[in-house]
Amino acid sequence: MRKLDSLSLLIFARSWGIVILFALLWGAFSIWGFPIFGTFTNFSVILQGASISTIFAASIAMGVFSGALDLSVPGTAALASVILAKCLLSGVNVWAAFAIALAVSVVVGLINSFFTLRGLNPLAVTIGTLSITSGTAALITTGPPLYGFTGLDFIATNRYFGLPAMFYVVMIVYIIGTVFLTQTRGGARFLAAGGNAEALRRSGVNANLYKVLGFVLSGLLAGVAGIVTTAYTTQGNPAAATDSLFTGLTAVALSGISLAGGRGSLPKVLVGSLVIAQITSILNIKNIEPFWGIVITGALLIGALYLELTIQKQVSKRVVQTKSKTPPPAPNTPSAALNAATTQKGA
């Protein structure tokens, strides 16, 4: 039974590693960054700072879960941002402007899925749409960011019960997303489509529908991230925030999944985002060059994926070992009694 124990230990590490890492870093940074880091105020600052990148992470995560890395996310967000700004500047109602920006984001997702399902490489397609969306965003503003609109504070910097509004947006996104993935039939099939679309197809389910859903959800959440960014910075910026791609992807990798699709948990992606935000925060507090943060993010991405790969290999090795070790029986030894019993029926 010792083999099984080390197996469960590995699985435990994979499942809970990110939470443990978060707690360890929190403890270590609280000592290193004493007395500033460990306070509630700093935690609230971390939450606020991480809000936008957690929404980006959710957007990337939805793509990865469904089996496709959607690189167009920052471009979609930039497009949603300038469309929202343009609408508000032309006097469109706030909610109508949200709806228009989100609808455009969904359309980007549909375009991505259209070409991917026809057999193009999703990376190439989404790099293409990244270029198209950020280019279009720049065409709309003719270059510089759009300023001068108001009325978005209620989803950004306004505080409700002591916490910034963005925090609630994050909570809504993650709670709805988690309930969808873990509790509904749509979520189960969505993950199955990412893990093994053929299995879904053979079960008589339209797997392509769920592949489309992956890109649509990724686009929709990118739109939400664009809207919140616009509200927070009070400008419609056509420059695609490509660093959000790296932190988002790192948060997904830190949550302990391979990027192959079919698995994943949004709460862990959230903790992954917070780990990166913790690191940014401690670098700020210790007055260390913020560029270290970028270096560390890259190292975390590779490290997390490598660790996942190692654990995966160990797990499959151990599973194979528990298989029956009996050699195949020699030919010419059919169980004769059973044989006689069954042959009579068809005769």
Instruction: List residues near other proteins by CB under 8 A.
Output: 11, 183-186, 188-189, 191-192, 195-196, 198-200, 202-205, 262-263, 315-316, 319-320, 322-329, 331-335, 338-340, 342-347
Minimum Å gap between C-beta 315 and other proteins is 7
Closer of 158 and 203 to other proteins (Cβ) = 203
Closer of 287 and 343 to other proteins (Cβ) = 343
Closer of 87 and 253 to other proteins (Cβ) = 253
262 contact partners, CB below 8 Å, separation of at least 6? 65, 67, 191, 192, 193, 194, 195, 196
Minimum Å gap between C-beta 325 and other proteins is 7
Token reading at 68: 């496709």
Minimum Å gap between C-beta 184 and other proteins is 4
Decide: helix, strand or coil at residue 67.
Answer: coil
Distance, CA of 74 to CA of 297 (rounded, Å)? 17
Minimum Å gap between C-beta 337 and other proteins is 9
Closer of 287 and 333 to other proteins (Cβ) = 333
Q: Which amino acid is at 312?
A: Q
324 contact partners, CB below 8 Å, separation of at least 6? none
Burial class (CB in 10 A: 0-12, 13-18, 19+), 281: buried
Minimum Å gap between C-beta 219 and other proteins is 21
Is residue 172 within a helix (H) or strand (E), and if so which, with residue range?
helix 165-183
Which is nearest to 227 in space by CA: 46, 43, 51?
51
Minimum Å gap between C-beta 186 and other proteins is 5
Decide: helix, strand or coil at residue 69.
Answer: coil
Closer of 226 and 262 to other proteins (Cβ) = 262
Q: How far is CA 338 from CA 327, 333, 344, 346, 347, in A?
A: 21, 12, 11, 14, 15
Is residue 159 within a helix (H) or strand (E), and if so which, with residue range?
strand 159-160
Closer of 44 and 258 to other proteins (Cβ) = 258
Instruction: Round the CA-based radius of gyration of the chain to a whole number and report it.
Output: 24
**Distance from first CA to last CA of the chain, Å, rounded?**
49
Closer of 150 and 332 to other proteins (Cβ) = 332
Q: How far is CA 10 from CA 74, 307, 308, 334, in A?
A: 35, 11, 10, 41
**Which residues are bridge partners to 221 per DSSP?**
none
Closer of 120 and 315 to other proteins (Cβ) = 315
Minimum Å gap between C-beta 251 and other proteins is 19
Minimum Å gap between C-beta 7 and other proteins is 8
Minimum Å gap between C-beta 210 and other proteins is 12
Closer of 91 and 204 to other proteins (Cβ) = 204
Distance, CA of 132 to CA of 72 (rounded, Å)? 9
